[in-house]
C-alpha cells in the first residue's frame, strides 16, 4: 500500500507567504519537522542533496516547492477538455514512461501554486468567453493532482468552485487512492473523477510509487458512492506478452468491484503507449534498468507538434487494441461510453 505523499524537502518562494494557503502549508510542514528552504524562484533551485544524477532525481521527485502560478494563460487540452487548469506541476510517482520526465527536464520537483483565487479568476474569464457553451478544464495535465491534494486541498476547492459554476466542468485523472478528503466536496455533478488503470504487469513493472490496481478501484468505488461522474483512462496501453489476458483480468476486476449505479454514464479513454526520441533518452537515464520496450523499429512514426514526432504502435496493432479492449468494454460495461482511442 502506497502511503500518502510526504515531501522530504520544501522550498518556499517568499511571495507565497503573502497568501493564506502559503502560510498554512509552511506552518504545517514546520510542525511535521520537514526541512524548509527559501528560494527567490523555483528556477533558482540548485544543490539538491545527492551524489549523482540518480540520487538527485529521486530527491527532486519528493521535493515540494510552495510558490505562485505566474502564467495565467491556460494551455489547450485536447481531446479530453478545452483547457488545462494549472494547480500543480510535477509528481512524486515513478512511472517509467511518464511524459513529465521530458516536459520537466532537469526540474522534476513538485510545485504547488498558492494563488488559487487568481487561477479561478482566469478560469472565470475563459468560461465567460465561451458561454453558454460548457467549458471543460483538465486539472491533471502537468501533475497527478490527487496525489498531493491531501496536503493542499486545492483540488477540493476547485471541485466546489466548478460545482457552483454555470458553464464550467472539471476533470482530472489519478493513479492514487488517497481520495477521502474529496468525498464530501460539493461537486454538484460537475466534476468527472477519473482513475488511470492498467493491467497488473504494467503497474508492477512500470508504475512504482503509485497505488496498486485494487486500491485505485476501491477508491473509485468510494468516489462513485459520493455521486461523482466516474471515468477510467486506460493508459498507456502497452503490448507485452499476455496483454490480452492481462487487460481482460483488469476489466473483470473492475466490473466485479464497481457498484451497478456507477457503471451507467461511466466513461473510458484509451491511450496507447507512445514515446519520442528525447523521451527515450531521458527514460534510459532516469530508469536505466527499465524493461520498457522503446525500439523505434517496432513502431510507426507519427508526425507531431513542434516537429517532434512520436512512435506509436503499427496500424494492425492499433486495430487489435481497439477491437480487443473495445470488445471487453462493450461486453462488461454495455452502458459505458468510450470517449476516444488515441
| Residue numbers at the binding site for ligand SF4 (CB under 6 A) | 91, 93, 95, 98, 100, 144, 175, 210
We find the least distance from the C-beta atom of residue 23 to ligand SF4, in angstroms, to be 27
Give the other-Cβ count within 10 Å of 223's Cβ: 22
Strand ranges of the sheet holding 63-67, from the earlier edge strand across to the other edge: 35-38, 9-12, 63-67, 110-113, 88-89
Select 190 or 194, whichever has its Cβ closest to ligand SF4.
Answer: 194
We find the least distance from the C-beta atom of residue 134 to ligand SF4, in angstroms, to be 26
We find the least distance from the C-beta atom of residue 261 to ligand SF4, in angstroms, to be 28
Instruction: Bin 105: left if φ > 0, else alpha if -120 < ψ < 50, else beta.
Output: left
Distance CA 63, CA 59 (A): 6
Helix 243-257 with 315-332: angle, nearest 10 deg: 30
We find the least distance from the C-beta atom of residue 125 to ligand SF4, in angstroms, to be 27
Select 13 or 144, whichever has its Cβ closest to ligand SF4.
Answer: 144
Burial class (CB in 10 A: 0-12, 13-18, 19+), 149: buried
Select 172 or 333, whichever has its Cβ closest to ligand SF4.
Answer: 172
We find the least distance from the C-beta atom of residue 207 to ligand SF4, in angstroms, to be 6
Distance CA 187, CA 183 (A): 9
Select 148 or 254, whichever has its Cβ closest to ligand SF4.
Answer: 148
We find the least distance from the C-beta atom of residue 287 to ligand SF4, in angstroms, to be 11
Coil, strand or helix at 203: helix
In the numeric block, the cell 509528481 is attached to 91
Q: Assess contact for 134 and 192: CB atoms under 8 A.
A: no
Q: Assess contact for 233 and 342: CB atoms under 8 A.
A: no
We find the least distance from the C-beta atom of residue 203 to ligand SF4, in angstroms, to be 10
Strand ranges of the sheet holding 76-77, from the earlier edge strand across to the other edge: 76-77, 81-84, 135-138, 168-174, 191-197, 230-237, 267-272, 337-341
Coil, strand or helix at 45: coil
We find the least distance from the C-beta atom of residue 5 to ligand SF4, in angstroms, to be 10
Select 98 or 179, whichever has its Cβ closest to ligand SF4.
Answer: 98
Select 100 or 139, whichever has its Cβ closest to ligand SF4.
Answer: 100
Query: Which residues pair with residue 76 across a beta bridge?
Result: 83
Distance CA 31, CA 274 (A): 43
Amino acid at each position: 500500500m502506497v502511503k500518502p505523499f510526504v515531501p522530504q524537502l520544501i522550498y518556499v518562494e517568499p511571495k507565497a507567504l503573502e497568501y493564506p494557503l502559503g502560510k498554512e502549508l509552511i506552518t504545517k510542514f514546520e510542525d511535521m519537522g520537514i526541512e524548509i528552504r527559501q528560494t527567490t524562484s523555483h528556477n533558482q533551485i540548485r544543490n539538491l542533496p545527492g551524489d549523482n544524477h540518480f540520487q538527485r532525481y529521486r530527491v527532486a521527485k519528493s521535493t515540494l516547492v510552495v510558490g505562485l502560478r505566474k502564467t495565467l494563460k491556460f494551455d489547450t487540452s485536447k481531446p479530453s477538455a478545452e483547457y488545462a487548469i494549472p494547480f500543480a506541476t510535477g509528481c512524486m510517482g515513478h512511472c517509467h514512461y511518464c511524459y513529465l520526465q521530458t516536459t520537466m527536464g532537469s526540474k522534476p520537483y513538485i510545485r504547488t501554486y498558492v494563488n488559487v483565487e487568481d487561477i479561478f479568476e482566469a478560469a472565470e474569464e475563459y468560461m465567460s468567453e465561451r458561454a453558454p457553451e460548457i467549458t471543460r478544464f483538465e486539472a491533471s495535465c502537468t501533475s497527478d493532482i490527487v496525489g498531493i491534494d491531501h496536503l493542499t486541498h486545492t483540488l477540493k476547492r476547485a471541485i466546489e468552485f466548478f460545482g457552483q459554476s454555470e458553464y464550467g466542468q472539471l476533470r482530472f485523472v489519478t493513479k492514487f487512492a488517497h481520495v477521502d478528503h474529496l468525498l464530501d466536496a460539493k461537486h454538484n455533478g460537475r466534476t468527472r473523477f477519473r482513475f488511470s488503470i492498467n493491467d497488473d504487469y504494467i503497474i508492477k513493472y512500470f508504475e512504482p510509487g503509485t497505488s496498486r490496481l485494487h486500491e485505485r478501484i476501491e477508491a473509485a468505488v468510494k468516489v462513485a458512492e459520493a455521486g461523482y461522474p466516474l471515468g477510467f483512462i486506460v493508459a498507456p496501453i502497452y503490448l507485452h506478452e499476455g496483454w490480452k489476458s492481462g487487460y481482460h483480468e483488469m476489466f473483470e476486476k473492475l466490473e466485479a468491484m464497481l457498484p451497478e449505479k456507477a457503471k451507467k454514464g461511466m466513461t473510458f479513454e484509451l491511450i496507447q503507449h507512445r514515446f519520442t526520441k528525447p523521451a527515450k533518452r531521458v527514460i534510459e537515464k532516469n530508469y536505466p534498468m527499465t524493461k520498457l520496450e522503446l525500439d523505434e523499429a517496432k513502431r510507426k512514426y507519427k508526425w507531431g507538434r513542434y516537429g517532434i514526432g512520436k512512435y506509436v504502435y503499427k496500424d494492425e496493432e492499433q486495430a487489435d487494441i481497439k477491437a480487443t479492449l473495445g470488445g471487453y468494454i462493450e461486453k462488461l460495461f454495455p452502458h459505458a461510453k468510450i470517449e476516444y482511442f488515441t
